[in-house]
Amino acid sequence: KAGVTQTPRYLIKTRGQQVTLSCSPISGHRSVSWYQQTPGQGLQFLFEYFSETQRNKGNFPGRFSGRQFSNSRSEMNVSTLELGDSALYLCASSLSTGNTNYGYTFGSGTRLTVV
Amino acid sequence: GENVEQHPSTLSVQEGDSAVIKCTYSDSASNYFPWYKQELGKGPQLIIDIRSNVGEKKDQRIAVTLNKTAKHFSLHITETQPEDSAVYFCAASKDSSASKIIFGSGTRLSIRP
- Cα distance from A80 to chain B (closest Cα, Å)? 26
Amino acid at B74: S
Residue A97 has pLDDT above 90, yes or no: no
- Which pLDDT belongs to residue A98? 66
Band of pLDDT at residue B54, cut at 50, 70 and 90: confident
Measure the CA–CA gap between B2 and B12, rounded to whole angstroms. 29
- Which pLDDT belongs to residue B99? 56
Burial class (CB in 10 A: 0-12, 13-18, 19+), B99: buried
Residue of B nearest to A109 (CA): B43
Q: pLDDT by residue (tens digit) across B84-103?
A: 999 999 999 887 655 578 99
Higher pLDDT, A100 or A92: A92
- Which pLDDT belongs to residue B53? 85
**Angle (CA) A58 A62 A63, round 5°:** 110
- Cα distance from B100 to chain A (closest Cα, Å)? 7
Band of pLDDT at residue A106, cut at 50, 70 and 90: very high
Testing the interface with A: which of B99, B102, B103, B107 to mutate, by most A Cβ within 10 A? B99
Band of pLDDT at residue A102, cut at 50, 70 and 90: confident
- Confirm or reject contact between A66 and chain B (CB < 8 A): no
- Per DSSP, B93 falls in state B
Of B36, B99, B104, the CB nearest to A94: B99
Q: pLDDT by residue (tens digit) across A71-90?
A: 999 999 999 999 999 999 99
CB neighbour list of residue B51: distance below 8 Å, 6 or more residues apart: B31, B32, B33
Of A101, A108, A109, the CB nearest to B99: A101
Residue A35 has pLDDT above 90, yes or no: yes
CB-CB contact of A114 with A86 (8 Å): yes
Higher pLDDT, A95 or A24: A24
- Cα distance from B96 to chain A (closest Cα, Å)? 7
- Per DSSP, A13 falls in state E
Measure the CA–CA gap between B108 and B87, rounded to whole angstroms. 4
- Confirm or reject contact between A56 and chain B (CB < 8 A): yes
Measure the CA–CA gap between A97 and A99, rounded to whole angstroms. 6
CB-CB contact of A18 with A80 (8 Å): yes
A-chain CB neighbours of B45 within 8 Å are: 106
Q: pLDDT by residue (tens digit) across B22-49?
A: 999 999 989 999 999 999 989 999 999 9
- Which pLDDT belongs to residue B2? 84
**With an 8 Å Cβ cutoff, are A43 and B44 in contact?**
yes
A-chain CB neighbours of B97 within 8 Å are: 56
Report percent pLDDT > 70 for chain A. Answer: 97
- Which pLDDT belongs to residue A39? 85
- Confirm or reject contact between B41 and chain A (CB < 8 A): yes
- Which pLDDT belongs to residue A1? 65
Band of pLDDT at residue A96, cut at 50, 70 and 90: confident
3-state SS assignment for residue B84? helix
